[in-house]
Chains A and B, each alone.
Chain A
Amino acid sequence: MNKINKNLILAFTLSLASLLPHTTVADEFEVSGRIGFEQRYFTEQGQFDNQLEHNQASVFIEPEFYWGWNQGSDSLTFKPFYRQDSVDDERSHGDIRELSYIHASDNWELRAGIRREFWGVTEFQHLVDVINQTDGVEDTDGEDKLGQVMVNLSLVQDWGIVDIYLLPKFRARPFVGEESRFRGEVLVDNDNISYQSSAEDEHLDVALRWSESLGVFDIGSYWFHGTNRNPILTPYTENGETKLRQYYNQMDQFGIDVQATIDDWLWKYETIYRSTDIEDFWALQAGFEYTYIGVFNSVADLGLLIEYGWDSRGEGDELSQGANVQNDVFFGSRLALNDMQSSEMLIGFGADLEHNAFSFLIEANRRFGESFIVSLDVRLLQSTESFDPLYSFKDDDHLQLGIEYYF
């Protein structure tokens, strides 16, 4: 839990507690959550010194405590998370995914505390999703996020939902340690962090979002002003050891996400325009998902996904990092058996159209009994260009077995 600002959490717990009506006892209390075990097997030796050889095991716990009162109009949710990793101290980490109070009225809601907010419609890259910091040690897919301190007022209007966010506390991205796979040759220092803003990690970020469903269209648009969630990494040497320091600049970002749901087709489009002191750029991710219902004369559904990603910064070279996804195409297939055990399989393939780099993944999972989910993932990565971010991971092909118990 060393990565969490304990004082901050304490302050928030106290301020949330003061919001609770002292005379009312919660009329609903519920505990749920999950405990999991995960085993990774890497097929090749790592590229860099001190990286683990083949096996990485870990366990995690994520309980959720819920209190509700006034027929659920007021509620408090607390969701801590902790993972213990067998090899990487940086990956052994805790986080408060959620500690938030919600008051819901007829046409507005106030949400305050540590929360997670997801925006967007595409599957292979989440361009417009900007509120929460990526939990960089959990996984490589960027789907896991750190809890974000916020006050969010949500207004339901005839012309859509308007969300106003005040984000008072920034959280730096945690990076894996020396023993881990999925890192570059030079380690990222999790303690050497600097900011463009003199307020550093206490810069008050703001966001305003409008979203609405109009017929077959689901549309969202926002403006974000505050600390860029992506660090600029620059090498420095201290005591003969070279590391990467993290620098977070300020950004203004405008984003749009649209999904058109037309019969068996989901058409998806996301675009952002980001402006910082260093560069201005825009990027898009767009594609579709088509579902064959009752495929192979069975009750199974087969979905086909194609997406394309583009970024005006172009590909990286020896001098600049460029964009990870700058002219890339993605193919995916999702098979849902619709059986009692909810068996599912996802196959994904991503390729860079400008240089030789690709990634391939299979994710399969199934329920066992009433409360266990077993998942098996396979990830293969390849790149021949040394400036490509994927190049550092080219020997990190692995299998991953997960067993989760839900309570």
Chain B
Amino acid sequence: MLNKRIITTLFTAFSLSLGSYNVLAESMQQQEAEKLGLEISTEAKFRDTGWNDNTSDMLMLLRNKQGQESIREIKTKTLELLNDGDKSLTIFNKPRDVKGTSFLSFSHPVANDDQWLYLPSLKRVKRISSRNKSGPFMGSEFSFEDLSSFEIEKYNYNYLGDETINGLDSYMVEQFPVDENSGYTRRIVWLDKAEYRVQKIDFYDRKNSLLKTLSYNSYKQYLDKFWRADSALMVNHQSGKSTELKWDNYAFKTGLVDSDFNRNTLKRAR
């Protein structure tokens, strides 16, 4: 249905620009592109709604320009909230010196997230500032905002066109972060037309030059509905560093509830 609408819209836009090449037509074209960008992103979000909760193990492989590697091992538990951002617990296992450290986040679509960090060596729960969206996550090429849940309200949209990526016919959507603390001016996201899975993202820094590219590999479907990639690769074009992510033990609807996400569960999360 959406496909059809895009074609008609494009056709309209095309004929308008042919007919009378004026400012009005261009702004209408722009409005249509914004509308389409939003529609595609909304559809992608809609298709990934209803999983209730999930758990997974994540391995991060950090590589620098010289090829030196470092490993991060992380477990995540997420509770889906339909009227607010998700609640999540992130538990660190490697490197060994941060083992037992855990992170509790109540995300909000527009307002600042509420975040707490538990430091096991001090037995201390610390409320931390969530303003640091652009900073690196555990020294990796992923920033905190790259790893936060996708919410429609976080961006403004622009449909750029179609392109084949990973052999799949895909939409190209430009997303402009609403939050002024974002590390990006924009990102370009490729979503395949068949399943609305993110195939690739280009990130542009505050000076609008290409900073990073993230590509997802080997999507698998869970509960006959939700698609998750087995791995992803983030390459930093400016520093030559990269971070590879590998996911394991994906589980959905595991029975997590609200009471699994508080300062008490943070202290004993493993």
Contacts and interface: CB of A to CB of B under 8 A. Distances in A.
A263 B112 contact: yes
Contacts of A92: none
Contacts, number: 100
A120 B62 CA distance: 35
B122 A118 contact: yes
A104 interface: yes
Interface string B126-167: 111101101110110000000000000000000000000000
A261 B129 contact: yes
A202 interface: no
Interface in B195-210: none
Contacts of A161: 262-264
A371 interface: yes
Interface stretch (B6-14, B36-44, B89-97, B213-221): B89-97
Contacts of A68: 270
B204 to A, nearest CB: 16
Interface string A99-126: 0001010110100000011101100000
Contacts of B70: 340-341, 370
Nearest to B137: A338
A338 B270 contact: no
A299 interface: yes
Contacts of B268: 72, 75, 102, 104, 109
A300 B141 CA distance: 13
B263 A117 contact: no
B188 to A, nearest CB: 22
A174 to B, nearest CB: 20
Given A266-B127, A367-B95, A293 B139 contact: no
Interface of A: 28, 32, 34, 66, 68, 72, 75, 102, 104, 106-107, 109, 116-118, 120-121, 143, 154, 156, 161, 211, 213, 218, 259, 261, 263-266, 291, 293-294, 299, 301, 338-342, 367, 370-371, 373, 404, 406-407
Interface of B: 62, 64, 68, 70-71, 94-100, 112, 114, 122-124, 126-129, 131-132, 134-136, 138-139, 181, 183, 257, 259, 262-265, 268, 270
